[in-house]
Protein backbone atom coordinates (compact mmCIF):
# COMPACT_ATOMS: atom_id res chain seq x y z
CA UNK A 1 0.00 0.00 0.00
CA UNK A 2 2.74 2.41 1.03
CA UNK A 3 4.79 1.50 -2.01
CA UNK A 4 1.88 2.08 -4.32
CA UNK A 5 1.24 5.53 -2.84
CA UNK A 6 4.94 6.38 -3.26
CA UNK A 7 4.87 5.28 -6.90
CA UNK A 8 1.79 7.39 -7.58
CA UNK A 9 3.46 10.47 -6.06
CA UNK A 10 6.55 9.88 -8.18
CA UNK A 11 4.45 9.58 -11.31
CA UNK A 12 2.56 12.76 -10.43
CA UNK A 13 5.84 14.70 -10.16
CA UNK A 14 6.98 13.08 -13.43
CA UNK A 15 3.76 14.20 -15.13
CA UNK A 16 4.35 17.82 -14.07
CA UNK A 17 7.93 17.65 -15.38
CA UNK A 18 6.66 16.13 -18.63
CA UNK A 19 4.11 18.91 -19.12
CA UNK A 20 6.70 21.65 -18.52
CA UNK A 21 9.33 20.14 -20.84
CA UNK A 22 6.71 19.44 -23.51
CA UNK A 23 5.64 23.10 -23.39
CA UNK A 24 9.28 24.18 -23.76
CA UNK A 25 9.67 21.84 -26.73
CA UNK A 26 6.42 22.85 -28.44
CA UNK A 27 6.03 26.56 -27.67
CA UNK A 28 9.53 27.62 -28.67
CA UNK A 29 10.13 27.28 -32.38
CA UNK A 30 13.46 25.46 -32.29
CA UNK A 31 13.61 24.61 -35.97
CA UNK A 32 12.88 26.76 -39.01
CA UNK A 33 9.72 25.82 -40.94
CA UNK A 34 10.45 23.00 -43.36
CA UNK A 35 10.64 23.58 -47.10
CA UNK A 36 12.28 20.33 -48.20
CA UNK A 37 11.77 16.57 -47.94
CA UNK A 38 15.10 16.33 -46.13
CA UNK A 39 14.03 18.90 -43.54
CA UNK A 40 10.78 16.95 -42.99
CA UNK A 41 12.84 13.87 -42.10
CA UNK A 42 15.21 15.86 -39.91
CA UNK A 43 12.23 17.36 -38.09
CA UNK A 44 10.80 13.86 -37.56
CA UNK A 45 14.12 12.67 -36.11
CA UNK A 46 14.20 15.68 -33.81
CA UNK A 47 10.74 14.94 -32.45
CA UNK A 48 11.44 11.20 -32.17
CA UNK A 49 14.50 11.86 -29.99
CA UNK A 50 12.81 14.71 -28.10
CA UNK A 51 9.79 12.63 -27.09
CA UNK A 52 12.06 9.86 -25.78
CA UNK A 53 14.12 12.42 -23.88
CA UNK A 54 11.05 14.01 -22.33
CA UNK A 55 9.89 10.58 -21.12
CA UNK A 56 13.22 9.59 -19.53
CA UNK A 57 13.85 13.07 -18.12
CA UNK A 58 10.42 13.18 -16.46
CA UNK A 59 10.79 9.74 -14.84
CA UNK A 60 14.24 10.66 -13.49
CA UNK A 61 12.96 13.99 -12.18
CA UNK A 62 9.99 12.18 -10.55
CA UNK A 63 12.31 9.75 -8.73
CA UNK A 64 14.78 12.44 -7.68
CA UNK A 65 12.28 14.99 -6.42
CA UNK A 66 10.24 12.34 -4.59
CA UNK A 67 13.39 10.94 -2.93
CA UNK A 68 14.66 14.36 -1.89
CA UNK A 69 11.39 15.05 -0.13
CA UNK A 70 10.41 11.59 1.21
CA UNK A 71 13.81 10.37 2.37
CA UNK A 72 15.33 13.58 3.69
CA UNK A 73 17.12 13.22 7.04
CA UNK A 74 15.81 14.87 10.19
CA UNK A 75 18.06 17.75 11.35
CA UNK A 76 19.40 15.78 14.36
CA UNK A 77 19.72 12.44 12.55
CA UNK A 78 23.45 11.59 12.32
CA UNK A 79 23.06 7.84 11.70
CA UNK A 80 24.22 6.17 8.51
CA UNK A 81 21.63 5.10 5.98
CA UNK A 82 20.62 1.44 5.82
CA UNK A 83 22.98 -0.76 3.75
CA UNK A 84 21.42 -1.52 0.35
CA UNK A 85 22.40 -4.45 -1.85
CA UNK A 86 20.96 -3.12 -5.02
CA UNK A 87 18.04 -4.37 -7.03
CA UNK A 88 18.88 -6.64 -9.94
CA UNK A 89 15.55 -6.25 -11.68
CA UNK A 90 15.72 -2.45 -11.50
CA UNK A 91 19.30 -2.42 -12.76
CA UNK A 92 18.48 -4.62 -15.72
CA UNK A 93 15.53 -2.40 -16.53
CA UNK A 94 17.49 0.84 -16.46
CA UNK A 95 20.22 -0.66 -18.60
CA UNK A 96 18.08 -2.43 -21.18
CA UNK A 97 15.42 0.24 -21.71
CA UNK A 98 17.85 3.13 -22.45
CA UNK A 99 19.94 0.80 -24.64
CA UNK A 100 16.87 -0.01 -26.74
CA UNK A 101 15.91 3.65 -26.97
CA UNK A 102 19.40 4.80 -27.98
CA UNK A 103 19.60 2.05 -30.61
CA UNK A 104 16.18 3.14 -31.90
CA UNK A 105 17.39 6.75 -32.24
CA UNK A 106 20.52 5.44 -34.00
CA UNK A 107 18.47 3.41 -36.47
CA UNK A 108 16.05 6.25 -37.23
CA UNK A 109 19.01 8.64 -37.75
CA UNK A 110 20.82 6.20 -40.04
CA UNK A 111 17.71 5.69 -42.18
CA UNK A 112 17.14 9.45 -42.40
CA UNK A 113 20.79 10.11 -43.26
CA UNK A 114 20.80 7.60 -46.08
CA UNK A 115 17.44 8.79 -47.43
CA UNK A 116 18.61 12.40 -47.28
CA UNK A 117 21.70 11.54 -49.33
CA UNK A 118 19.60 9.92 -52.06
CA UNK A 119 18.84 12.30 -54.91
CA UNK A 120 16.29 10.00 -56.55
CA UNK A 121 16.25 8.82 -60.15
CA UNK A 122 16.47 12.06 -62.06
CA UNK A 123 18.25 14.70 -60.00
CA UNK A 124 19.20 18.12 -61.26
CA UNK A 125 22.97 18.59 -60.93
CA UNK A 126 24.12 22.01 -59.81
CA UNK A 127 27.75 22.91 -59.17
CA UNK A 128 28.44 25.28 -56.31
CA UNK A 129 31.56 27.43 -56.12
CA UNK A 130 32.32 29.17 -52.86
CA UNK A 131 34.95 31.81 -52.33
CA UNK A 132 35.50 34.61 -49.84
CA UNK A 133 32.74 35.93 -49.71
CA UNK A 134 30.41 34.88 -52.46
CA UNK A 135 28.53 31.91 -53.90
CA UNK A 136 28.22 31.02 -57.57
CA UNK A 137 26.23 28.27 -59.23
CA UNK A 138 26.65 26.38 -62.45
CA UNK A 139 23.75 24.65 -64.18
CA UNK A 140 23.80 22.02 -66.93
CA UNK A 141 24.92 23.64 -70.17
CA UNK A 142 27.49 25.80 -68.38
CA UNK A 143 25.03 28.46 -67.19
CA UNK A 144 26.55 30.40 -64.31
CA UNK A 145 24.44 32.41 -61.91
CA UNK A 146 24.69 34.28 -58.62
CA UNK A 147 21.14 33.31 -57.64
CA UNK A 148 20.23 29.75 -56.78
CA UNK A 149 17.06 28.79 -58.63
CA UNK A 150 15.52 25.36 -57.99
CA UNK A 151 12.45 23.53 -59.29
CA UNK A 152 10.01 22.39 -56.61
CA UNK A 153 9.60 18.62 -55.90
CA UNK A 154 12.71 17.59 -57.77
CA UNK A 155 15.89 16.32 -56.13
CA UNK A 156 18.79 18.70 -56.63
CA UNK A 157 22.28 17.34 -56.16
CA UNK A 158 24.84 20.02 -55.35
CA UNK A 159 28.48 19.34 -56.11
CA UNK A 160 30.46 21.88 -54.20
CA UNK A 161 34.00 23.16 -54.00
CA UNK A 162 35.79 26.17 -52.60
CA UNK A 163 38.44 28.42 -54.16
CA UNK A 164 40.07 29.35 -50.88
CA UNK A 165 39.09 28.38 -47.33
CA UNK A 166 36.40 26.17 -45.78
CA UNK A 167 32.87 27.45 -46.22
CA UNK A 168 29.59 25.72 -45.42
CA UNK A 169 26.36 25.48 -47.41
CA UNK A 170 23.17 26.00 -45.43
CA UNK A 171 19.61 27.06 -46.22
CA UNK A 172 17.82 26.84 -42.85
CA UNK A 173 14.46 25.81 -44.32
CA UNK A 174 16.11 22.98 -46.31
CA UNK A 175 17.74 21.46 -43.21
CA UNK A 176 20.77 20.10 -45.04
CA UNK A 177 24.19 21.52 -44.19
CA UNK A 178 27.52 20.60 -45.73
CA UNK A 179 31.07 21.95 -45.57
CA UNK A 180 32.55 23.25 -48.82
CA UNK A 181 36.28 22.53 -49.01
CA UNK A 182 39.12 23.71 -51.24
CA UNK A 183 40.48 20.93 -53.46
CA UNK A 184 37.68 18.50 -52.58
CA UNK A 185 34.21 18.07 -54.02
CA UNK A 186 31.51 17.51 -51.43
CA UNK A 187 27.87 16.95 -52.25
CA UNK A 188 24.47 17.42 -50.71
CA UNK A 189 20.89 16.74 -51.82
CA UNK A 190 17.87 19.01 -51.43
CA UNK A 191 14.35 18.29 -52.65
CA UNK A 192 12.31 21.48 -52.15
CA UNK A 193 8.66 21.05 -51.22
CA UNK A 194 7.53 24.68 -51.21
CA UNK A 195 8.00 27.46 -53.72
CA UNK A 196 9.30 30.71 -52.33
CA UNK A 197 12.38 32.74 -51.56
CA UNK A 198 15.08 31.65 -49.15
CA UNK A 199 18.64 32.60 -48.29
CA UNK A 200 21.78 30.52 -48.67
CA UNK A 201 24.06 31.25 -45.73
CA UNK A 202 27.73 30.44 -45.25
CA UNK A 203 27.85 28.82 -41.83
CA UNK A 204 31.60 28.34 -41.42
CA UNK A 205 33.50 31.40 -40.17
CA UNK A 206 35.59 32.04 -43.28
CA UNK A 207 37.10 35.51 -42.84
CA UNK A 208 36.25 39.16 -42.40
CA UNK A 209 33.32 39.18 -44.82
CA UNK A 210 31.79 35.92 -43.54
CA UNK A 211 28.60 37.56 -42.31
CA UNK A 212 27.91 38.94 -45.77
CA UNK A 213 28.41 35.62 -47.56
CA UNK A 214 24.84 34.98 -48.59
CA UNK A 215 23.03 34.24 -51.81
CA UNK A 216 19.37 34.47 -52.76
CA UNK A 217 17.51 31.19 -53.33
CA UNK A 218 14.30 30.89 -55.33
CA UNK A 219 12.17 27.73 -55.59
CA UNK A 220 9.77 27.75 -58.54
CA UNK A 221 7.55 25.35 -60.49
CA UNK A 222 9.31 22.91 -62.83
CA UNK A 223 7.82 24.56 -65.96
CA UNK A 224 8.92 28.02 -64.84
CA UNK A 225 12.32 26.58 -64.04
CA UNK A 226 12.66 25.07 -67.50
CA UNK A 227 11.94 28.38 -69.20
CA UNK A 228 14.24 30.23 -66.77
CA UNK A 229 17.07 27.81 -67.56
CA UNK A 230 16.65 27.99 -71.33
CA UNK A 231 16.57 31.79 -71.12
CA UNK A 232 19.83 31.71 -69.11
CA UNK A 233 21.35 29.30 -71.60
CA UNK A 234 20.44 31.57 -74.49
CA UNK A 235 21.82 34.62 -72.69
CA UNK A 236 25.12 32.97 -71.79
CA UNK A 237 25.47 31.76 -75.39
CA UNK A 238 25.14 35.34 -76.65
CA UNK A 239 27.62 36.63 -74.11
CA UNK A 240 30.19 33.98 -75.00
CA UNK A 241 29.72 34.56 -78.74
CA UNK A 242 29.99 38.32 -78.38
CA UNK A 243 33.20 38.05 -76.45
CA UNK A 244 35.00 35.91 -78.99
CA UNK A 245 34.12 38.20 -81.87
CA UNK A 246 34.45 41.39 -79.86
CA UNK A 247 38.20 41.16 -79.64
CA UNK A 248 40.66 40.06 -77.02
CA UNK A 249 41.95 43.38 -75.75
CA UNK A 250 40.42 45.36 -72.93
CA UNK A 251 40.42 48.51 -75.02
CA UNK A 252 37.95 47.07 -77.50
CA UNK A 253 35.23 46.87 -74.88
CA UNK A 254 35.08 50.63 -74.44
CA UNK A 255 34.23 51.20 -78.13
CA UNK A 256 30.97 49.36 -78.26
CA UNK A 257 28.56 47.74 -75.81
CA UNK A 258 29.79 49.88 -72.93
CA UNK A 259 26.46 49.54 -71.19
CA UNK A 260 26.54 45.76 -71.23
CA UNK A 261 30.14 45.82 -70.03
CA UNK A 262 29.26 48.14 -67.18
CA UNK A 263 26.34 45.91 -66.22
CA UNK A 264 28.64 42.88 -66.18
CA UNK A 265 31.28 44.76 -64.16
CA UNK A 266 28.73 45.83 -61.58
CA UNK A 267 27.35 42.30 -61.41
CA UNK A 268 30.79 40.79 -60.89
CA UNK A 269 31.58 43.37 -58.22
CA UNK A 270 28.44 42.35 -56.34
CA UNK A 271 28.75 38.60 -56.83
CA UNK A 272 32.44 38.49 -55.90
CA UNK A 273 31.77 40.02 -52.52
CA UNK A 274 33.99 43.08 -53.16
CA UNK A 275 31.41 45.29 -51.46
CA UNK A 276 31.81 43.40 -48.19
CA UNK A 277 35.27 44.92 -47.84
CA UNK A 278 35.25 48.02 -50.04
CA UNK A 279 33.25 51.20 -50.28
CA UNK A 280 32.43 52.06 -53.89
CA UNK A 281 29.84 54.80 -53.95
CA UNK A 282 28.28 53.95 -57.34
CA UNK A 283 27.45 50.43 -56.14
CA UNK A 284 26.10 51.58 -52.79
CA UNK A 285 28.59 49.33 -50.99
CA UNK A 286 30.07 50.52 -47.71
CA UNK A 287 32.63 47.86 -46.69
CA UNK A 288 35.28 49.13 -44.28
CA UNK A 289 37.82 46.31 -44.37
CA UNK A 290 39.76 47.57 -47.39
CA UNK A 291 40.40 51.03 -48.84
CA UNK A 292 37.73 53.12 -50.56
CA UNK A 293 37.68 52.51 -54.30
CA UNK A 294 36.07 55.78 -55.37
CA UNK A 295 39.25 57.51 -56.49
CA UNK A 296 42.16 55.26 -57.35
CA UNK A 297 44.08 57.73 -59.54
CA UNK A 298 46.52 58.84 -56.78
CA UNK A 299 47.33 55.24 -55.82
CA UNK A 300 47.83 54.30 -59.48
CA UNK A 301 50.12 57.29 -59.99
CA UNK A 302 52.16 56.31 -56.96
CA UNK A 303 52.52 52.81 -58.40
CA UNK A 304 53.51 54.32 -61.77
CA UNK A 305 50.67 52.65 -63.64
CA UNK A 306 47.50 53.60 -65.47
CA UNK A 307 44.40 53.30 -63.29
CA UNK A 308 43.22 50.27 -65.29
CA UNK A 309 46.51 48.41 -64.93
CA UNK A 310 46.72 49.26 -61.25
CA UNK A 311 43.21 47.98 -60.58
CA UNK A 312 43.88 44.82 -62.56
CA UNK A 313 47.05 44.16 -60.59
CA UNK A 314 45.23 44.87 -57.29
CA UNK A 315 42.59 42.28 -58.14
CA UNK A 316 44.81 39.57 -59.61
CA UNK A 317 47.78 40.01 -57.30
CA UNK A 318 46.63 41.99 -54.25
CA UNK A 319 49.95 41.67 -52.45
CA UNK A 320 51.94 43.31 -55.26
CA UNK A 321 51.11 46.69 -53.75
CA UNK A 322 49.79 46.70 -50.22
CA UNK A 323 48.09 49.99 -49.44
CA UNK A 324 49.67 51.58 -46.37
CA UNK A 325 47.60 51.17 -43.26
CA UNK A 326 46.26 47.79 -44.48
CA UNK A 327 47.46 44.21 -44.04
CA UNK A 328 48.55 41.89 -46.87
CA UNK A 329 46.63 38.62 -47.44
CA UNK A 330 43.31 40.07 -46.29
CA UNK A 331 42.00 40.56 -49.81
CA UNK A 332 41.42 37.11 -51.40
CA UNK A 333 44.27 36.07 -53.73
CA UNK A 334 42.07 33.92 -55.94
CA UNK A 335 40.13 36.36 -58.13
CA UNK A 336 42.69 35.89 -60.93
CA UNK A 337 41.65 32.24 -61.19
CA UNK A 338 37.99 32.38 -60.26
CA UNK A 339 36.90 35.12 -62.66
CA UNK A 340 36.70 34.54 -66.40
CA UNK A 341 38.64 36.86 -68.72
CA UNK A 342 35.49 38.78 -69.69
CA UNK A 343 34.39 39.13 -66.09
CA UNK A 344 37.82 40.37 -65.05
CA UNK A 345 37.99 42.88 -67.91
CA UNK A 346 34.52 44.19 -67.14
CA UNK A 347 35.31 44.41 -63.43
CA UNK A 348 38.57 46.28 -64.04
CA UNK A 349 36.80 48.78 -66.31
CA UNK A 350 33.99 49.14 -63.84
CA UNK A 351 36.18 49.73 -60.79
CA UNK A 352 38.62 52.02 -62.57
CA UNK A 353 35.70 54.07 -63.87
CA UNK A 354 36.65 53.63 -67.54
CA UNK A 355 33.14 53.82 -68.91
CA UNK A 356 32.49 57.10 -67.12
CA UNK A 357 35.11 58.88 -69.26
CU1 LIG B 1 32.19 31.44 -46.18
Per residue in 249-260, pLDDT (tens digit) is: 333 333 444 567
H-run or E-run covering 25? helix 2-27
Residue 196 CA, ligand 1 centroid: distance in Å: 24
Residue 140 CA, ligand 1 centroid: distance in Å: 24
- % of the chain with per-residue pLDDT over 70: 92
Residue 231 CA, ligand 1 centroid: distance in Å: 29
Residue 350 CA, ligand 1 centroid: distance in Å: 25
Residues in contact with 327: Cβ distance below 8 Å, sequence separation at least 6, in sequence order:
none
The answer on 224 and 133 residing in a single domain is yes
**pTM, entire model:** 0.68
pLDDT digits (tens, 9 = 90+) for 65-91: 999 998 888 888 888 888 888 889 989
Residue 273 CA, ligand 1 centroid: distance in Å: 11
Q: Is residue 10 part of a domain?
A: yes
* Helix, strand, coil percentages in the chain from 3-state DSSP, rounded to 5: 50, 15, 30
Residue 201 CA, ligand 1 centroid: distance in Å: 8
Residue 176 CA, ligand 1 centroid: distance in Å: 16
Residue 99 CA, ligand 1 centroid: distance in Å: 39
The answer on 340 and 305 residing in a single domain is yes
What is the pLDDT at residue 329?
84
The answer on 111 and 168 residing in a single domain is no
Instruction: Please say whether the beta carbons of 178 and 218 come within 8 A.
Output: no
Residue 60 CA, ligand 1 centroid: distance in Å: 43
Q: Is residue 22 part of a domain?
A: yes
pLDDT digits (tens, 9 = 90+) for 150-197: 999 999 999 999 988 999 999 999 999 999 999 999 999 999 999 999
What angle (nearest 5°) sits at the alpha carbon of residue 265, between those of residues 348 and 304?
A: 10
The number of C-alpha atoms within 13 Å of 146 and in the hemisphere containing its C-beta is: 15
CATH number at residue 135: 2.60.40.420
Mean pLDDT, rounded, for 219-248: 71
pLDDT digits (tens, 9 = 90+) for 310-346: 999 999 999 988 888 888 888 888 888 888 888 999 9
Boundary residue ending a domain (233, 259, 286):
233
Query: CA-CA distances (angstroms) from residue 242 to 26, 89, 142, 257, 338?
Result: 57, 82, 16, 10, 21
Q: Is residue 81 part of a domain?
A: no
What is the pLDDT at residue 200?
96
Q: Is residue 238 part of a domain?
A: no
Q: Is residue 83 part of a domain?
A: no
The answer on 132 and 107 residing in a single domain is no
Segments forming the whole domain that contains residue 342: 247-356
Q: Is residue 276 part of a domain?
A: yes
Residue 111 CA, ligand 1 centroid: distance in Å: 30
Q: Number of folded domains in the chain? A: 3
Of residues 254, 351, 354, 209, the one with CA closest to residue 294: 351
Amino acid sequence: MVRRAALLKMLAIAAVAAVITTLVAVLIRWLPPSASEQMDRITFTYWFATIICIGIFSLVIGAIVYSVIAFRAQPDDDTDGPPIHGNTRLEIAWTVVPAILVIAIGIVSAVVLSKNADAGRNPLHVKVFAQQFAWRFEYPGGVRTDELVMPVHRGVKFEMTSADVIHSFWVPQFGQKQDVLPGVTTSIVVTPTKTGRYTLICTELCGLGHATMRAPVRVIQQAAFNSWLSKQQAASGEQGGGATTGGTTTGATTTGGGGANEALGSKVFASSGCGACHTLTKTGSDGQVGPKLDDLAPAAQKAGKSVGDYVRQSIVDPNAVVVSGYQPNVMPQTFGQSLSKDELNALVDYVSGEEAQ
